[in-house]
Structure 1
Amino acid sequence: MNIKKSGISLLAMAIMVSLAGCSLEGDDGATGPAGANGAAGTPGATGPTGAAGQNAQTGVNTQPIGRFTTGTYGQAAAEITQYHSASKRIFLINGAANRIEILNAATLTSTALSDALTANNLTSTPLAIPATAVVKNAAAVDETLTLGFANSIAISGNWLAIAVENKVKSAAGAVLIYDLTAATPVFNKAIKVGSLPDMLTFSPDGQTLIIANEGEPESNYSVDPEGSIGLVKRTNNQWPDQAVLLGFGAFESQKAVLLKKGLKIAAPEGTTLAQDIEPEYITVTADGKKAYVSLQDNNALAVVDIATAKIDKIVGLGFKDYSLPENALDTGDRDGINLQTVPGLFGVYQPDTITNYQWKGATFIVSANEGDSRDWSAYSEEARVSAMPRSAELVAKQAGVYSSNGLARLKVTKALGKNANGEYDALYAFGSRSFSIWDQNGAQVYDSAADFEKISAALQGEAGFNSNHLANGGDNRSDDKGPEPEAVAVGQVGDKTYAFVGTERLSAVFVYDVTNPYQVKFVDYFHNRNFDVTFAIDDEKSPPTLSGSYLQAGDLGPESLVFVPAAQSATGKALLLMASEVSGSLTVFEVSPKY
């Protein structure tokens, strides 16, 4: 090889050969110091204006602007109320006279009543409940029903529906339909439904009526009808002759599972699940697809698919743990204000009124957890703690809080908590003295805990705390269901959604901001009751005996609350209607944002 001609020196060739199997890159060196920041760039264009944020402040102002009195005390003369937006009239069940009072609210103004305790500035045009109704039976043959009392009313558009029980409580009742287009309601049809129709409501589109047929037993249990849910669907503006009745027999096989999830059964031996279940109250979702039904005595909700006319499921609501600090309660009516935690004691929610609202496209159910017991001549589940055979473990657990004037006085159910030896390992009280919010699956997302007793104790003191609605006097309902939340209504005031919770015994309303169900806030408390006068109403007698200054006592025993949106009100502001059964009165409150 001629090396000179290649142009490569021997030294260069040696270096190339030595590098032939090596990487051509060396290791990275250390990072150098950061360079100086460059000059600021040109600002970008301003973005679009964002949506206005919610006012962080919350609260409402309430003032009474209208009131109607029947003059009848202690006889359920003002029970369930509804509002007809087209005519701005209020419809009210007068159970004492068995008629509907129709009140003209179109003339109401924003002027507060000068003496709301005794005012009576609304007048009534009564609509009597007929003694009989002709309905079609299952064979499409005319049948005459002898009617008893009206229990519930509902209004949608220009339709009024009235749920009326049979004169024989356990027999089939009726729904009476009236057309409200004219000034005087015009009877349209009577429809046969189930036993003891206790509540009814329309779907949002007004096409379907849903009825809670409670099916209570006769007092001697000679007859115990099955509870049911009735559906009445209007077609081509015509109401059908028949209601579709949905029973609970299909859930008999699920009884054991449901009991473990908080369902309560309290009845004589041999009673079926279908007989024991008693539908109490109904709320229908905004899209009209589902109805949630409170099974109050059973501590559960039933979920109904309206389109398929099927009960999808029963959801047990579980129990409230009174051993937790936030759930302190007063258990005795002879020990003054005495809120304390009680180990081994639980509350059975048992909601009465329920309603629902939407948040972020989801449905949330709001419940007033009144509580209820089976207390009939042939069967009663009630007993005071002093009469309950408690296990040694429970006696030891409750030793620090048990007293003859306190826990011993509390009424509890005999249907829950019993062990194999016939002793009680836990005690269960009726109701939870609270209101709750549940998601669409039946899971609890909020409970007002001990708020009602704590707030009323602070504001009313010894004289009004846990007072009864039949007389003034503190602490006289602590051994039962306390303030007894009975009614609840939800509505929007300003940009916030509020829940108004009526307590039957205390006769007061608690207001909560529930705009976000996971961030609930207490915002107000009000009543139209005079706690300073002395009076007594004995409704165990017929007619009730009245004494003292009952005429100055104000509104006693709110049974129902109805929220009227501002757009439907004669005053241009939202209204809250409160019907009080003991005082036989209805009061209209105007509600406006505080901020």
Structure 2
Amino acid sequence: MELSRSATPIVPTIRLSASTAVVNENAGTATIPVSIQNSGPAASTVDVALVAGLGTATAGSDFTFSSPQTLTFPAGSTTDQNLVLTLTDDALPEGAEYFTLRLQNPTNGTLAAGATEYLVYLKDNDVAVPVQSRSITLSRLGSYQNGAAGTNSAEITAHDPTTQRLYVANSIGGKLDILSLTGNGTLTPVASINILPYGNINSVAVRNGIVACAIENTAPQQNGSVVFFDQNGAFLKQVTVGALPDMITFSPDGRLLIAANEGEPTTDYALDPEGTVSIIDFAGGVAGLTQASVTTVGFTVYNGLAPQLRADGIRIYGGTATTPSTVAQDLEPEYVAVAADSRTAYITLQENNAIATLDLTTKQFTSLRSVGFQDHRQPGTALDASDQTPDVLLANWPIRGLRLPDAPATFDVGGQRYLLTANEGDAREYSALTEAVRLGDAAYPLDATAFPQAALLKNRQVLGRLNVTNKLGDTDGDGDFDQIYAFGGRSFSILNATTGALVHDSGDLLERVTSTDATFGAIFNASNTTGNPARKNRSDDKGPEPEGITTGIIRDTVYAFVALERIGGLAVFDVNNPAQPRLVQYVNNRSITSGTGDQGPEGIVFVSAVNSPTRQPLIILANEVSSTVAVYGIQVRGTVTATAAPQTAAVPLYAYPNPTSGGRVHLSRPISGTVADVVVRPVRELRQTAQIETAGLAPGLYVVRAQDGATTKLIIR
């Protein structure tokens, strides 16, 4: 007798066939296909619901959806069921918006694991191209390549108006390259000085024919040096400074040199020197220079205050679990900007997301402040966060961008001093400490309460490829991340130099400028490799990475010049109103089809008209990757400054007391310009000021010259 066997029941599986889709706002509808497998003899249903909490598009105004909706699969059907949503084509210029849907409540079926949520990007078709005022225009006059890229570099450059020479820090080649800047803005080589006998070069500054190079030790964790050369590269003197001097600059009055000594650790953290700042007294010139002229200032006063500093937003996290760094070891000075009065220096501590203020008179730090983060949930702070989406999708996300500034610059408007910061971003990557991880990595768990759609966020076309830090964001110490912190602000910031308060942040403007550029939008967020540019391959990192920044005064306007390390080029802003900067121009010389042109801009120098061999203002850009130095002439709208005769000042200029026995001299009106000695060498640069500090100037006759052409004589007794 044969026994009957019951058939194994067929259980249908219902799933979404994809996780994301990009739909143009003006497409009319968005279609979301839902599929079924192993369909049985009975009908199956599933609800599609709108997910609250992960979306920026609004039901009812951006799309039409009554949640939930039920899809029915007839018995035996293998055909997809489509959810069709109506889209609203509004006329608002805005970034990409998105919404998320979820499958739930199946009947006669189960949901496929990991295939139940769907994110729909709505790509805006009304994106406004940022307006460039072009009150000034930059035109590339010339460029010089100091050797093959990869075997040479051009990272930092310094200009000496007394000799019209450029001095270029070539760290890969281990050289100081000397170039001559001609009257038409072209560059010709003069000499290359081998730096390797002293160590390796990181930065260079020049003043009246004296060249100062920041040199790291051949053992980088040991004290470095500043080596002085004459205008032709002949050795003059050498003094010792802190470990790994990364940047050096003269104070505006020429009496001091300030070096930022980064003090990076060995890769295993076996040796972690303290970060310091060295102040070199240069009042007596190179002849009076000795080791006693050097004061190196550290941060030991902050040791023991790590919890308070972290609470204030300063990142203190270096070292290993068994041997954490002290605060003084953890703070790593990156770059220095000196105020126009030569009394205060501002030092970026990039990896620490902070700025230190240094009193150059007392040689003590007076403040240590966090520069905060970009809240990418807020309007105006969108970012393109994935290199895997085919489109540029500048959207708001529940992440925070640590500004981590590289170069700062100072400027004064209306009697108030401001700081500009280029918010590049940087991560510590050592064998003993690697903080950068992909958000999608299993080793970066997201808190289920804070991020209930964690699986969707970890998708490669959402945030899964974004580089984030694993050293911040676990607010309750339970091993998962309650907040997401990415690297870099993709912006520049303007801070009140006195209080540290944020006055303005450019938000997503730099990505909007480059993505909508008629030429360079084709290589949006490309990296700075010398090969063919790949569009969007830095979107998952730090985007355009603003790195170099400087200011210059032309007529009565303060301009900020921001170099973009990755895509390349330079963005110019009018910052006369620090709370509302105006975009002036974006200029780039990189090829969009090959690895040619200027790539990887880092060092940036503004040359005023009175200091320029062309008699027009210049921008000099050192491009690290292409190993090129580019010269841009600046033309004010409606004038040809390179050939125009000097203008007659509309308002006379007077100085008092005059003669003076020293101290502070007052001017009859605020000006930008220079103070020059009897052989027409600039000895002071003036920026929107009605005062001159004469300390350090020898007795004699000087000429004060405003950029509008007005002059007055000044006698110092």
Please indicate, yes or no, whether the TM-score normalized by the shorter chain is above 0.5: yes
| Cα distance in 2 for residues equivalent to 1:345 and 1:515 | 31
Task: Assess if the C-alpha contact under 8 Å between 2:446 and 2:454 holds in 1.
Answer: no
1:251 aligns with 2:302: yes
Task: Assess if the C-alpha contact under 8 Å between 1:129 and 1:150 holds in 2.
Answer: no
Task: Assess if the C-alpha contact under 8 Å between 1:493 and 1:591 holds in 2.
Answer: no
1:348 aligns with 2:406: no
Tell me the equivalent position of 2:140: 64
Deviations 1:467-492 (A, max 9, x none): 11113111100010111111111112
Deviations 1:270-312 (A, max 9, x none): 2111111100000011111110000001000000011111111
Tell me the equivalent position of 2:557: 496
Tell me the equivalent position of 1:405: 461
CA gap of 1:453–1:324, structure 2 versus 1, over 3 A, is: same
| Cα distance in 1 for residues equivalent to 2:296 and 2:415 | 30
Tell me the equivalent position of 1:191: 239
Q: Which amino acid aligns with 2:480?
A: E
What are the equivalent positions in structure 2 for 1:224-303 lying under 5 Å apart? Answer: 224-237=272-285, 238-242=288-292, 243-267=294-318, 268-269=320-321, 270-303=324-357
Could you tell me which of 454, 466, 469 is aligned with 2:528? Answer: 469
Q: CA deviation at 1:57?
A: 7.0
What are the equivalent positions in structure 2 for 1:100-179 lying under 5 Å apart? Answer: 100-108=176-184, 122-132=187-197, 147-179=198-230
Q: CA deviation at 1:589?
A: 0.4
Could you tell me which of 163, 179, 187 is aligned with 1:87? Answer: 163
Could you tell me which of 378, 382, 386 is aligned with 1:324? Answer: 378
Tell me the equivalent position of 2:616: 573
Q: Secondary structure at the match of 1:126?
A: strand
Greater share of helix: 1
Q: CA deviation at 1:461?
A: 6.5
Deviations 1:184-215 (A, max 9, x none): 24422100111000001111111111110000
| Cα distance in 1 for residues equivalent to 2:222 and 2:207 | 27
1:558 aligns with 2:627: no
Q: Which amino acid aligns with 1:395?
A: F
Deviations 1:517-548 (A, max 9, x none): 12211121110111023xxxxxxxxxxxxxxx
Tell me the equivalent position of 2:267: 219
What are the equivalent positions in structure 2 for 1:423-572 lying under 5 Å apart? Answer: 423-440=480-497, 441-459=499-517, 460=519, 463-470=522-529, 471-533=532-594, 550=595, 553-572=596-615
| Cα distance in 2 for residues equivalent to 1:529 and 1:125 | 26
| Cα distance in 2 for residues equivalent to 1:397 and 1:73 | 45
TM-score where L is the length of structure 2: 0.67
| Cα distance in 2 for residues equivalent to 1:329 and 1:337 | 12
Q: Which amino acid aligns with 1:86?
A: T
CA gap of 1:575–1:461, structure 2 versus 1, over 3 A, is: closer
Deviations 1:353-373 (A, max 9, x none): 111111112211111110100
CA gap of 1:383–1:401, structure 2 versus 1, over 3 A, is: closer
Q: CA deviation at 1:217?
A: 0.6
| Cα distance in 1 for residues equivalent to 2:572 and 2:375 | 24
Tell me the equivalent position of 1:369: 423
Deviations 1:524-582 (A, max 9, x none): 1110111023xxxxxxxxxxxxxxxx3xx200100111110011111111000011111
| Cα distance in 1 for residues equivalent to 2:262 and 2:572 | 29
| Cα distance in 2 for residues equivalent to 1:400 and 1:311 | 46
Tell me the equivalent position of 2:60: none
Deviations 1:380-439 (A, max 9, x none): 111110121110123226677653223010001111101321110011111100011111
| Cα distance in 1 for residues equivalent to 2:361 and 2:601 | 34
Q: CA deviation at 1:462?
A: 5.9
Deviations 1:72-118 (A, max 9, x none): 11345111001000111111112232111111113325xxxxxxxxx
1:200 aligns with 2:248: yes
Q: Secondary structure at the match of 1:395?
A: coil
Q: Secondary structure at the match of 2:173?
A: coil
Q: CA deviation at 1:502?
A: 0.6
Task: Assess if the C-alpha contact under 8 Å between 1:336 and 1:462 holds in 2.
Answer: no
CA gap of 1:308–1:461, structure 2 versus 1, over 3 A, is: closer
TM-score where L is the length of structure 1: 0.80
User: Rg: which structure is higher?
Assistant: 1
CA gap of 1:561–1:69, structure 2 versus 1, over 3 A, is: same
Deviations 1:293-347 (A, max 9, x none): 0000100000001111111121111111001121010111111334344443101
Deviations 1:497-528 (A, max 9, x none): 11111101101211111112122111211101
Q: Secondary structure at the match of 2:304?
A: helix
Tell me the equivalent position of 1:49: none
Q: Which amino acid aligns with 2:472?
A: L
Task: Assess if the C-alpha contact under 8 Å between 2:203 and 2:248 holds in 1.
Answer: yes
CA gap of 1:394–1:488, structure 2 versus 1, over 3 A, is: same
| Cα distance in 2 for residues equivalent to 1:107 and 1:512 | 27
1:588 aligns with 2:636: no
Greater share of strand: 2
Q: Which amino acid aligns with 1:577?
A: I
Q: Which amino acid aligns with 1:504?
A: E
Q: Supply the RMSD in Å over aligned alpha carbons.
A: 1.9
| Cα distance in 2 for residues equivalent to 1:217 and 1:253 | 20
Q: Secondary structure at the match of 1:591?
A: strand
Q: Which amino acid aligns with 2:304?
A: S
Q: Secondary structure at the match of 1:562?
A: strand
| Structure 1 spans left out of the alignment, 5+ residues | 1-55, 110-120, 133-146, 534-549
CA gap of 1:316–1:88, structure 2 versus 1, over 3 A, is: same
- Higher normalized contact order (CA 8 Å, seq sep 6+, divided by chain length): 1
Tell me the equivalent position of 2:360: 306
CA gap of 1:74–1:97, structure 2 versus 1, over 3 A, is: closer
Q: Which amino acid aligns with 2:366?
A: D
CA gap of 1:76–1:317, structure 2 versus 1, over 3 A, is: farther
| Cα distance in 2 for residues equivalent to 1:94 and 1:188 | 20
| Cα distance in 1 for residues equivalent to 2:390 and 2:547 | 23
Q: Which amino acid aligns with 1:412?
A: V
Q: Secondary structure at the match of 2:449?
A: helix
Task: Assess if the C-alpha contact under 8 Å between 2:457 and 2:464 holds in 1.
Answer: no
Task: Assess if the C-alpha contact under 8 Å between 1:234 and 1:240 holds in 2.
Answer: no
What are the equivalent positions in structure 2 for 1:30-69 lying under 5 Å apart? Answer: 59-69=135-145
| Cα distance in 1 for residues equivalent to 2:300 and 2:395 | 39
Task: Assess if the C-alpha contact under 8 Å between 1:330 and 1:339 holds in 2.
Answer: yes
Q: Secondary structure at the match of 2:452?
A: helix
Q: Secondary structure at the match of 1:123?
A: strand
Task: Assess if the C-alpha contact under 8 Å between 1:75 and 1:582 holds in 2.
Answer: no
| Cα distance in 1 for residues equivalent to 2:554 and 2:242 | 38
Worse-matched range after superposition: 342-351 or 412-421: 342-351
Q: Which amino acid aligns with 1:556?
A: Q
Task: Assess if the C-alpha contact under 8 Å between 2:165 and 2:180 holds in 1.
Answer: yes
Tell me the equivalent position of 1:421: 478
Q: CA deviation at 1:130?
A: 4.2
